Structure 1
Amino acid sequence: MTAPRLLAPLLLCLIGAAPVAEARWESIFDGKSLSGWTPKITGQAVGEDARGMFVVRGGAIRVSHANYRRFEGEFGHLFWKAPLKAYRLRLEYRLFGTPLPGIEVWQNSNSGVMLHAQAPGTMGRDQKFPVSLEMQFLGVPRPEREPTGNLCTPGTTVIFQGKRDPRHCIQSTSPLLPVGRWTRAEVEVLPSGQITHRIDGKVVLQYAAAELDPEDADAKPLIAAAGGTLALRSGYIALQSEGHPVEFRKIEVQRLD
């Protein structure tokens, strides 16, 4: 064997392998239509949106209440067509206007994006929220002055600061942000199970090891279908409607698996 061949493995160890190209960002909203998105609204079948809750206006997906006189339990979620496992999701959102009459106090200036959500076809007709992890979007003014980018856990639990945390919502370190402001949100879901929330480029919350909650009524059939497994390692993303107008734009995914 020649000397250059002997040296080649040593040189590779010293300088490292060639850098791997970063996965590309994929736009999952074309700015013109709801192609690839499926609504699930409380009290309606999957795919039904009888009163146009989700529409496209000015290059954004808008939660519209133009055909609603008051809120009567119609929580809405708009699901992207493909389940995801390890990925980065980034988008811009804007809470605006005034909420529908009839909402509860906590619904003021409140929306979000659901992560690792159950498939829309597995939701009950009258189910309010998909079993999922919610990156919660809040704005001020609202009765409770809370940051944005929080975590809420319908039917799930996570490990936060080294222990499994039973709270339904865990606050982030984001500053209070006003209604009407376009805000950039990003979430990173690593293959290890660690999840990071970012608001306007800054880390505001980290947690890991998402699981289905065996005490939750909506999670129980999912656990049974998974043969008793609690670990939650993949699922759908869904944009949320909770009674307050909100818009979403520039929605992109970078797959990490």
Structure 2
Amino acid sequence: MKNFVYALFLCFLFFSSCKEKKSTPQKEISEPVEQKTALNNWKPLFNGTNLDGWTMKIMGYPLGENFGNTFRVSGGILSVRYDAYGEDFNNRFGALYFNEKLANYRLKVEYRFVGETAPGAPEWGFRDSGVQFHSQSPASLKTDQPFPVSLEYNLHGGNGTDERPVGAICANGMLVELNGQQNISYCTPPLVKRTLHGDQWVTLEIDVKDGEITHYVNGEEILSYSNPTYNNEHEIAKTLIVNGDVSVKDGYISLQSNSHPIDFRKIELLKY
């Protein structure tokens, strides 16, 4: 009898233990759904092999003509070069346009300045370039039009000594609001000033969502503004206004060819 009671006691302990384990499963560790979704939705816009999906427009040349092999791809890097321009850059500004019109998104670009400014370039061309967005379509540019009506995340590279902050907002034919006030100059410097010297790789990001725009460099927020509109006093911009609506909600993105050699190795887009 004593052995029987002892056996029942052991069975009770066994089943209690099993029930407890069953009722308290280990919690699965995983990334937040939002983080997984964001990571999975980043789309590369540059395939590392060729310029598929992009179209160039260089001042003085027809749409799609890559004068002097300005835009080229080698070793997984998209390069902008001027070695075929001769001794005079001759204001042949241009840009490489992504073929899809975009509205709400986050753009991430890795770039670096290299080499020497093209002969005959303007003085400001030294380590100067830009990523243009909310741009008019490349097909709508005139043959002799140097820059599109657009917003621009301005790229400045340091000269090793002086401060040349990266990330200003330059508005060609457009107006924006900074701290509730309309911009009063073509280019407005970033609030947080970062000068990046040498040929280092830099990561810029542009966040565009429902009229709110933010600039980042190497993960740090440096500038924010809002409500881009066409400037109805600008000769070309006023032709883009439809039914009196000056608001700008979408457009094309592009990489400038401004006279200083520059490389891009990663161009990614996250749509909202």
- TM-score class normalised by the smaller sequence: 0.7 to 0.9
Where does residue 64 of structure 2 map in the other structure?
47
2:255 partner amino acid = L
Q: 1:222 offset after TM fit, Å? A: 1.1
C-alpha distance after superposition, 1:4-38 (max 9, x if no partner)? xxxxxxxxxxxxxx966436000010001000000
Read off the aligned partner of 2:75 and give its amino acid letter. Answer: G
Aligned partner of 1:240 among 224, 243, 256:
256
Q: How does 1:113-132 map to 2 (within 5 A)?
A: 113-132=131-150
Q: CA offsets, 1:32-79, max 9 Å, x none?
A: 100000001000111111311100122111101121112101001100
Q: Once the two structures are superposed, what CA deviation does each residue of 1:73-115 show, in whole Å capped at 9, x if it has no partner?
A: 1001100010100000001010111101111121111001001
Closer/same/farther in 2, CA of residues 144 and 243 from structure 1, 3 Å limit: farther
| Corresponding letter in the other structure for 1:121 | A
The verdict on how the C-alpha distance between 1:142 and 1:170 changes in structure 2, with shifts beyond 3 A counting, is farther
Name the CA distance, whole Å, in 2 between partners of 1:89 and 1:73: 28
Q: Contact 1:105–1:143 at 8 Å: present in 2 too?
A: no
Secondary structure, aligned partner of 1:51: helix
1:83-232 to structure 2, matched below 5 A, reads 83-141=101-159, 145-172=163-190, 173-191=192-210, 193-223=211-241, 226-232=242-248
What's the CA shift for 1:181? 1.2
Distance 1:247 1:50, change over 3 A: same
Given that 1:109 and 1:142 are in contact with CA atoms closer than 8 Å, whether structure 2 keeps it comes out as: no
* Rg (Cα) greater in structure: 2
Contact map agreement 1:174 1:199 (CA 8 A) in 2: no
CA drift at 1:227: 2.3
TM-score of the pair, normalised by structure 2: 0.83
Classify the secondary structure of the residue corresponding to 1:221. helix
Output the CA distance in 2 between the equivalents of 1:179 and 1:218. 37
Distance 1:222 1:142 in 2: 41
Moved over 6 A (4+): none
Identity across matched positions, percent? 36
**Counterpart Cα distance in 2 of 1:165 and 1:91:** 25
Distance 1:75 1:112 in 2: 12
CA distance in 2 between counterparts of 1:36 and 1:88 reads 18
* AA aligned opposite 1:65: Y
Structure 1 counterpart SS, 2:255 = strand
What is the CA RMSD across the aligned residues, in angstroms? 1.7
Q: Is the 8 A contact 1:77 1:239 kept in 2?
A: yes
TM-score in terms of structure 1 length:
0.88
Unpaired runs of 5+ residues, structure 1, are 1-17
| Aligned equivalents of 1:187, 1:52: Cα separation in 2 | 28
Q: 1:60 to 1:123 in 2, by over 3 A?
A: same
